[in-house]
Structure 1
Amino acid sequence: MKRTRIPAPALERPAPLIAHPAAQLGIAVCAALLIGFATAFAQGLLPHALSPLANSSGSWSLAAFLLALLSRRPWVSCLIGVLSLAAMLAGYDIASLVRGHSPSSGQTLFWLAAAATAGPLLGLAGNAVRTRSRFAPAAAGLMGGVLAGEGVYGLLHIADTTPPAYWACSIAAGVALTAWGVLRNSPALAGVAAALGTAVPITVLFPLAYSPRFLLLFS
């Protein structure tokens, strides 16, 4: 009688450390602290053509969006969106103290409010893009709308004191990101409508975040 060999059970490979939610959150917070710290010093070092990069909310929003790509778990990405914006603020304030400046209370309140309100949306948007969920076109439109909206504000209100080319590039980046989100995930009419349904309103409404009346709430 011929004996049949029973194969040994395959050994399960341990999940990489970065796949653990705590590790993903830790990496995101550390990276955000460094980004915020570097931002404070970059304000005096960047060439004029790139100076808005260290003075715009679009760059910090994009950083939070990209850091949220670390996780496939929506709740982790949501937390990353919140904590990364708060950590960038902390890094910026620490660098300000190192440079001998007092952190602005108004700016601190503004970014804490942004972390609590916009942070979850940016985190979930990054997660949707990574996992290519049905919300991915709208998620790409959200981030694209932020970049385009800030570019519109820059061209309309501060183009005389800042490089207009930078704001034009911000608009182009927002449009490109939105288009990429549609083409990568859902090039059908529904995907286009979802992307434009978030990108266009955010582009139009985003400049209101810089309006004097709104900023008075944080002064």
Structure 2
Amino acid sequence: MTTDAEAASSAGTALPPLATAVGGGLLVGCLTSHGQGLLPSALAPLANSAGSWSLIAFLLAMRGPRPWLCMLAASLSLAAMVLGYDLASVLRGYTASPVATAFWLTAAVVVGPVLGWGAATVRRRSGLAPAAIGAMSGVLVGEGVYGLLYIADTTSPLYWSGSVAAGTALLAWACVRRFPDPRSILLGTAATALTAAAFVGVYSSNILVLFSRIL
């Protein structure tokens, strides 16, 4: 049985990373809303980037001392980003879309635990850390490739090229500094390629429209 002291210790361990995840998520969401009208054209896609949100959630989740805390922190941070974005948008005089809000909150529940698991894996430097880093790199590369292929005529291709470069640089850094052995490099590279391909496939299917038809 869990004693009161153990329960209090567990709560004390869990609260700081979760509070940081929620607070950081709200701040990022608010900044995203304001950034849509303030960023220069070359950086404007940053305010509509799932990759940047995912990377921030990944980094925030790494503060969790246990895997389940990392997974919960990632989901909470993504959900807080959505709510922070909506709150800031409403305060600026815009209307929040219920469908878009429901979609991104659903994404937070589905994708958040995966990002959190990856963060925990990297934090613990387990044998699956190359796959976790590769998946995070793949999100950045995949979003960049999607942007270049599908919306480069209406948004800055410089940003999407930068996203591809950032994902590639993250993988290269990890291969050099974290897991330089051939097996790990192959695993990380494969995870990057698979995740990037999946990202492009899902985004090009116009998933938000499909989601709205389900509601």
TM-score (norm 2): 0.88
Separation of aligned partners in 1, 2:151 and 2:204: 12
Separation of aligned partners in 2, 1:65 and 1:148: 16
Say if 2:62 and 2:70, in contact at 8 Å, map to a contact too.
yes
Separation of aligned partners in 1, 2:93 and 2:203: 27
Structure ID, larger Rg: 1
1:25 alignment partner, one of 5, 18, 32? 18
Q: Would you say 1:162 and 2:155 are equivalent positions?
A: yes
2:57 alignment partner, one of 57, 64, 69? 64
2:101 is matched with which residue? 108
SS at match of 2:153: coil
Q: Which amino acid aligns with 2:160?
A: W
Separation of aligned partners in 1, 2:176 and 2:14: 30
Q: Which amino acid aligns with 1:160?
A: D
Count residues in correspondence. Answer: 201
| Larger fraction in helix | 2
Deviation at 1:218, TM superposition (A): 2.5
Deviation at 1:212, TM superposition (A): 4.5
Separation of aligned partners in 1, 2:21 and 2:145: 29
Q: Which moved more, 1:138-147 or 1:187-196?
A: 187-196
The CA deviation string for residues 27-72 of structure 1, in whole angstroms up to 9 with x for no partner, is 1101111110111011000111110111111111111011012123
Change in 2 beyond 3 A, CA 1:52/1:213: closer
Runs of 5+ consecutive residues of structure 2 not aligned to the other structure: 1-11
1:11 is matched with which residue? none
SS at match of 1:70: coil
1:85 alignment partner, one of 65, 78, 81? 78
The CA deviation string for residues 74-124 of structure 1, in whole angstroms up to 9 with x for no partner, is 111010111111010010111111012111122212211211111111111
Q: Would you say 1:207 and 2:196 are equivalent positions?
A: no
TM-score (norm 1): 0.87
RMSD (Å), alpha carbons: 1.4
Say if 1:83 and 1:115, in contact at 8 Å, map to a contact too.
yes
Deviation at 1:214, TM superposition (A): 2.3
Say if 2:146 and 2:204, in contact at 8 Å, map to a contact too.
no
SS at match of 1:48: coil
Runs of 5+ consecutive residues of structure 1 not aligned to the other structure: 1-18
- Kindly, what percent of the aligned residue pairs are identical? 51
Q: Would you say 1:99 and 2:92 are equivalent positions?
A: yes
Q: Would you say 1:177 and 2:170 are equivalent positions?
A: yes
Q: Which amino acid aligns with 1:188?
A: D
Deviation at 1:213, TM superposition (A): 4.6
